[in-house]
Structures are given as C-alpha cells and as structure tokens.
C-alpha cells in the first residue's frame, strides 16, 4: 500500500485508541453503563450505531458476490438475511420490546413468562442460544476479516493469521469500552463508510461506461424483476457461473433455477424471522438502550436509513469495478473460481491512492462495529443472566464491569477457535441463515401473538430448533428447505409442549398484556384486564401496522435499488427508485410517524415510573 493509505489507516487506529480510553472511563461505572451506556444516548445516535453495526466485512463480501452473479435480482436474495426485520421493529416490535425496561433479551423472558419453572427454562434457553449465536457470528466475522486483510500485505501467511491478529487487537478495544465504545466506533464508522461509498461510486462512474458493464454481464442482469425461472445465462462469458447458479447444492451450486419459488420461500422466511423480533444479540441491546418506546421505533427508522443506502453504494461500486476489470482473472480460475476474492482484490488493484486508505479504514471500522457489538451482547448475557442472576446478585457494581471484561475476552477467544474450523464465507453464512436463525423463529413468533404459549413451549421449541440446526451441519440440503424443516420441527415442539403443560399465571399474563400491549390471540387475557378496568382498551393497530409493514418493505427495497442503479448508470431506473422512496416516505409520515404519539416517558427509567405513580412527575 502507498504511504498515504497507510497513514490514513494508522490515523484511524489512533483515533480508535483514544475512543477506547474515553469509553473505558464512561463504561466502568456499573453494568448498565457497560452494557447499555446507561440508557442515556439519543435515539438518532443509537440508530446510527445500530445501522453501522449491520455493515460488516463478511456480509459485504457476500453481497458483492451475489450482485456480481445475480445482478439487480440479488436484491431479492437479501431476504436470506433478516435484513428487513428492521421495518417490523420500526413499525411496532421496537416499542413492544422497549416497554419491558430490562437489560437483555433473556431478562425480557421474565416479562413474558414470569418466574415459573417453565419460565426459568425459557430464560436459560435464551442465554445458551445467545452465546451460541454470538460465537457463530464471531466465527463468521473471523473468516471474512481474514480473506479481506491478506491481499493488502506482502507476507504470504494464511488468512487465519491475519484474522487472529485483527480479532485480538479489536478485542482489546472492545473489552474495555463496553457499549460506549460500540456506539462511538459505530458513529466514526458511519462517517468513514459514507465517504468511502460516495468515493467508490464516483470512481466507478468515471472509470466505467454503462456499455462496458452490459458487455460483461448476460442479458437481463440489470432487471429487478423476473419470471418463474431466473433465465440468466453466463455460458458465453463465464460458464462456471451457470454451474454455480443452477447446480445442485450437493455439488456446490446455489440451486436457484426455479427462482420465483425460492424467492417466495425467502420472503416467507424473512417475514417469519422479522415477526420473531430482534435476536438475542446486539440487535436487542440497541433497542433496550433507547430512552423510551417511541425512541425505540425512531431508532430503528434511523438504522434502516444508515444501513442500506450507503452500504449498497459501496457494494454496487465495488461490484461494477469487479465486473469490468476483475472478470478476466475470475474466468481464468476455471472451476476453482473464488468470488469471495472480488472485494479485497478490487480495492487492492483498482482503487486510487487515498481512497484505498479510506475504504480499508471504513471496512475495518465496519468489522470493528459488528465485532464489538456482538461481543458486548454476548458478555451481557453471561454477566447479567448467569452471574448476577444465579451466582452473586448483590455484587458491587465494579465487579460486574470486571466480569464483563473477562467474559468479553473469553467470547473473543471462542470466536477465534470456532473461526479456525470454518472453511469459507459462503459456508458459514449459509449455516447461520438456514439453520441457526430459524432455530429462534417459532417460539419467538408465538411468544408475542398467542396468550396460551408458556415457558415450557418456548424452551422445547428452542431446544428442538437448535438440535436441528446442529444436525443441519452434517446434512447437505438446500438452505431454503433446511430453514423450513427446522422451522416446522421447532413449531411442532413449541405447540405440543405448550398444550401438554399449564398456561402461565393470570397475573403474569395480565402484566405482560397491559405493559407491552401486543395484538394477536389475547382475548382471554383482554377479558380479564377488562373485568378489572372497564376503561382498558386492546391494541387495535393490527391493520395499520400491516399496511405500514408493506409500505416500509417497498421503502427499504427502494433504498437498495437506487444506489445499485446509480452505480451501473441506469438513470431512469434510479430516478424511479428515488421516486418510490419519496412517495413511501410521505405515506409513512402520515400512517406511522404521526401515530407514534408521546414518548411514554413513564417507561424510561424505573425511578421515573415511581415518580409518575406517586404524582410527582
């Protein structure tokens, strides 16, 4: 790398050192300061941090690869990830989660199931799943950072050496700073990503003509929509890509010949995952860090704005440069072609001095952002939900912070250990989205919407889903079919266990229903609440929420397609996407934002709730 690029990266590292030092002082007050930044940060700042946390190197490598292969139609493959679950949290789930006023997702189980034996099992199952989930994502980050870093250094060491070095350095920063370091790093990362995204698209537009792009891709590559079959033929340009797209999963293919069927399944999957609510990782920690339920909804809106448009400017710019300049090298690899090399090699070979340093710093920041958020959430579960709950509930505040440091370090080392066992970005990505994520879905959809669902049902649903996810690691099956299989197993276990055991107590159900106010199958509980308070009203927002969800999905999709069409210089389609974004934003202003109401400040902090109850607030 050029001296200027190295200087930019070194300056970024020095800045992160200063932020880590400042964060360590702020975070060392108590557990809430360490894990939730004291619930003191404004919603827009948490939203920027949350959105930035979703921009990671491994996912960016994967999205660049998908855009290269599938073109604009890769937009539909984003449903592989729960990327669009942010609109569900924005419209209603964020406020439902925040009304619990707890520290972690496992602690939230007390809000729903109380303190029965079944609730205890549900509580523990979330803690175990959260730790597994965090370690799985750190393994995913490990593989991505290794493949990204290696091309920029002259030493011919394996990817794993670079991954271990970066994880250890980043881990030190994360351990001492807690949630404050998460948010500050994310804010800096967003600024870098924004500059880098604009820069790479400008370079792509200057260096590449639209005709060059169209000459390097098959007919229909630039179309968003499609028929029953994909009909994307790479045979005259890069024949091995046809094997990748249409080949069976057992032979390393994606198996997407019947594209409409599989994208339909991905849509169903994405909706179910989104309805389950935030997974027990940094997603729920960001929601719980907000100051009120209203701010939880606004935080997720900001996350959507931050995580999509800038990220896909970056992805599309890199993909365009890769298509035009790196395709010959990929084609020369024959059947051993490695599309995961597109991103690092494009940055290394085709980006000018100065911008390369900014891009590398931005992507390192993206890695740090996701990494520190993931580690912080994993440590929160161990400290708050195991040590504080079962071992020493009355320990001094400083001890919880110290244990947070130790646990964070242990989580980093576990991520490295499991990362060494992974073989590729695509492989670990596929396992996470087709096996680990669906293990969480069934019990977490039921807990919101069905009053009869109890702690035993949640526990056995999680156990069955997680066991099936582990089994998936040893069976070759299409990711969509794997998802559906695990989902059915988990749903069956959840419902059978629930019907074979008693419901939760009336007091627990009434307390949850009054505070969280979900819609769904809650009529028996509603009637109990109505008998005690004739003025009590149920949540009748289901039709409006579903309308807003549909509009917000189109809103988010436009935020993906507009930057892609900008990068490939399809101007009419870009302006159509911008127009769709503007119209849907206006609709959401009237049907969602204006309906949020006041901030429900009595739910911000426990002491403020007490003041409100006594009439002093």
- For 198-215, write each residue's pLDDT tens digit: 999 999 999 999 999 999
Average pLDDT along the chain: 79
Note the pLDDT of residue 147: 74
Note the pLDDT of residue 612: 34
Question: CA-CA distance, 522 to 179, in Å (whole number)?
Answer: 36
- Over residues 589-601, the mean pLDDT reads 78
Q: Is 62 exposed, middle or buried (0-12, 13-18, 19+ CB in 10 A)?
A: buried
Contacts of 410 (CB under 8 A, 6+ apart): none
Note the pLDDT of residue 572: 95
Bridge partner list, 450: 521
- Of the given ranges (252-256, 299-303, 374-378, 610-614), which has the lowest mean pLDDT? 610-614
Note the pLDDT of residue 105: 60
- Over residues 558-567, the mean pLDDT reads 95
* DSSP character at residue 226: -
Q: Is 578 exposed, middle or buried (0-12, 13-18, 19+ CB in 10 A)?
A: middle
Question: CA-CA distance, 495 to 465, in Å (whole number)?
Answer: 13
Would you say the pTM of this structure is higher than 0.85? no
Q: Which residue has the higher pLDDT, 611 or 158?
A: 158
Q: Which residues of 489-509 are buried (b: 16+ CB within 10 A; e: fewer)?
A: bbbebbbebbeebebbeeebb
- Of the given ranges (225-239, 393-407, 421-435), which has the lowest mean pLDDT? 421-435
Q: Which residue has the higher pLDDT, 487 or 227?
A: 487
Structural domains of the chain in order of their starting residue, each with its CATH number: 3-436+539-614 (1.20.1730)
| Gyration radius (Cα) of the chain, Å | 24
- CB of 514 within 8 A of CB of 533? no
- Of the given ranges (308-322, 377-391, 516-530, 594-608), which has the lowest mean pLDDT? 594-608
Note the pLDDT of residue 238: 84
| Residue 520 reports pLDDT greater than 50 | yes
- As a whole-number percent, the residues of the chain with pLDDT over 70 amount to 77
- Residue 260: pLDDT band (50, 70, 90) is confident
Question: Closest Cα partner for 512 from 597, 451, 455, 444?
Answer: 451
Note the pLDDT of residue 551: 96
* DSSP character at residue 334: G
- Residue 607: pLDDT band (50, 70, 90) is very low
- Residue 605: pLDDT band (50, 70, 90) is very low
| Residue 291 reports pLDDT greater than 70 | yes
- Over residues 379-385, the mean pLDDT reads 72
| Residue 601 reports pLDDT greater than 60 | no
The tens digit of pLDDT for each residue in 420-457 reads: 666 655 566 666 665 667 777 889 899 999 999 999 99
- CB of 369 within 8 A of CB of 53? yes
Note the pLDDT of residue 222: 92
- Of the given ranges (24-38, 45-59, 371-385, 464-478), which has the lowest mean pLDDT? 24-38
| Residue 27 reports pLDDT greater than 60 | no
* DSSP character at residue 385: I
Note the pLDDT of residue 548: 96
| SS3 of 52-110 | HHCCCHHHHHHHHHHHHHHHHHHHHHHHHCHHHHHHHHHHHHHHHHHCCCCCCHHHHHH
Q: Which residue has the higher pLDDT, 69 or 25?
A: 69
Note the pLDDT of residue 386: 75
Note the pLDDT of residue 183: 64
- Of the given ranges (91-100, 131-140, 318-327), which has the lowest mean pLDDT? 131-140
Note the pLDDT of residue 616: 32
- CB of 190 within 8 A of CB of 365? no
Residue 525's φ and ψ, nearest 5 degrees, are -70, -40
The tens digit of pLDDT for each residue in 34-79 reads: 444 445 577 887 787 777 766 677 778 888 888 998 999 989 887 7
- Over residues 282-295, the mean pLDDT reads 76
- Residue 249: pLDDT band (50, 70, 90) is low
Question: CA-CA distance, 127 to 107, in Å (whole number)?
Answer: 9
- Residue 486: pLDDT band (50, 70, 90) is confident
Q: Which residue has the higher pLDDT, 108 or 36?
A: 108
CA count, 13 A, side-chain hemisphere, 49: 27
- Of the given ranges (76-80, 99-103, 384-388, 533-537), which has the lowest mean pLDDT? 99-103
- As a whole-number percent, the residues of the chain with pLDDT over 90 amount to 24
| Residue 197 reports pLDDT greater than 70 | yes
């Amino acid at each position: 790398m050029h001296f200027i690029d190295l200087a930019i990266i070194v300056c970024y590292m020095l800045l992160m050192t200063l932020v880590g030092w400042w964060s360590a002082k702020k975070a060392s007050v108590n557990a809430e300061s360490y894990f939730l930044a004291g619930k003191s940060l404004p919603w827009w700042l948490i939203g920027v941090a949350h959105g930035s946390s979703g921009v990671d190197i491994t996912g960016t490598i994967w999205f660049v690869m998908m855009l290269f292969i599938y073109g604009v139609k890769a937009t539909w493959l984003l449903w592989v990830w729960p990327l669009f679950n942010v609109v569900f949290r924005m419209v209603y789930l964020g406020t439902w989660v925040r009304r619990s006023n707890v520290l972690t997702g496992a602690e939230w189980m007390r809000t729903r199931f109380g303190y029965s034996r079944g609730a205890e099992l549900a509580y523990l199952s979330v803690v175990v799943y959260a730790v597994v989930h965090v370690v799985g994502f750190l393994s995913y980050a490990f593989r991505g950072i290794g493949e990204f870093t290696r091309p920029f250094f002259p030493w011919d060491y394996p990817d794993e050496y670079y991954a271990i070095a970066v994880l250890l350095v980043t881990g030190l920063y994360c351990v001492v700073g807690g949630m404050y370091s998460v948010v500050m790093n994310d804010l800096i990362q967003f600024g870098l990503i924004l500059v880098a995204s604009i820069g790479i698209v400008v370079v792509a537009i200057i260096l590449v003509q639209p005709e060059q792009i169209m000459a390097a891709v098959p007919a229909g590559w630039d179309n968003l929509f499609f028929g029953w079959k994909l009909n994307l033929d790479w045979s005259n340009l890069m024949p091995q890509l046809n094997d990748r797209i249409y080949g069976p999963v057992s032979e390393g293919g994606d198996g997407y010949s019947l594209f409409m069927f599989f994208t339909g399944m991905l849509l169903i999957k994405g909706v179910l995952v989104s309805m389950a609510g935030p997974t027990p990782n940094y997603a729920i920690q960001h929601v719980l860090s907000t100051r009120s339920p209203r701010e939880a909804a606004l935080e997720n809106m900001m996350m959507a704005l931050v995580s999509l448009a800038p990220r896909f400017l970056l992805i599309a710019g890199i993909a365009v440069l890769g298509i035009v300049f790196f395709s010959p090298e990929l084609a020369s690899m024959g059947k051993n072609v490695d599309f995961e090399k597109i991103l690092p090699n494009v940055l290394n070979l085709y980006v000018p001095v100065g911008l390369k340093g900014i891009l590398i710093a931005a992507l390192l920041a993206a890695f740090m952002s996701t990494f520190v958020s993931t580690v912080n959430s994993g440590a929160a579960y161990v400290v708050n939900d195991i040590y504080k709950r079962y071992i020493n509930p009355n320990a001094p505040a400083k001890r919880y912070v110290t244990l947070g440091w130790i646990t964070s370090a242990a989580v980093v080392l576990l991520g490295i250990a499991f990362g060494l066992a992974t073989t590729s970005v695509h492989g670990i990505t596929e396992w996470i989205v087709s096996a680990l994520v669906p293990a969480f879905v069934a019990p977490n959809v039921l807990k919101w919407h069905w009053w009869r669902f109890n702690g035993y049902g949640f526990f056995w649903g999680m156990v069955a889903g997680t066991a099936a996810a582990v089994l998936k690691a040893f069976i070759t099956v299409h990711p969509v079919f794997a998802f559906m299989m695990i989902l059915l197993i988990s749903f069956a276990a959840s419902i059978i266990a629930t019907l074979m055991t008693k419901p939760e107590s009336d007091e627990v159900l009434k307390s949850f229903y009054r505070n969280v106010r979900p819609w769904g199958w809650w009529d028996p509980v509603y009637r109990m609440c109505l008998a005690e308070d004739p003025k009590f009203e149920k949540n009748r927002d289901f039709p409006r929420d579903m309308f807003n969800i549909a509009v917000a999905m189109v809103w988010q999709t436009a935020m993906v397609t507009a930057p892609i069409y900008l990068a490939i210089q399809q101007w009419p389609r870009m302006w159509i996407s911008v127009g769709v974004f503007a119209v849907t934003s206006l609709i959401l202003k009237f049907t969602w934002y204006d309906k949020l109401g006041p901030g429900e400040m009595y739910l911000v902090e426990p002491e403020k709730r007490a003041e409100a109850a006594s009439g002093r607030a």
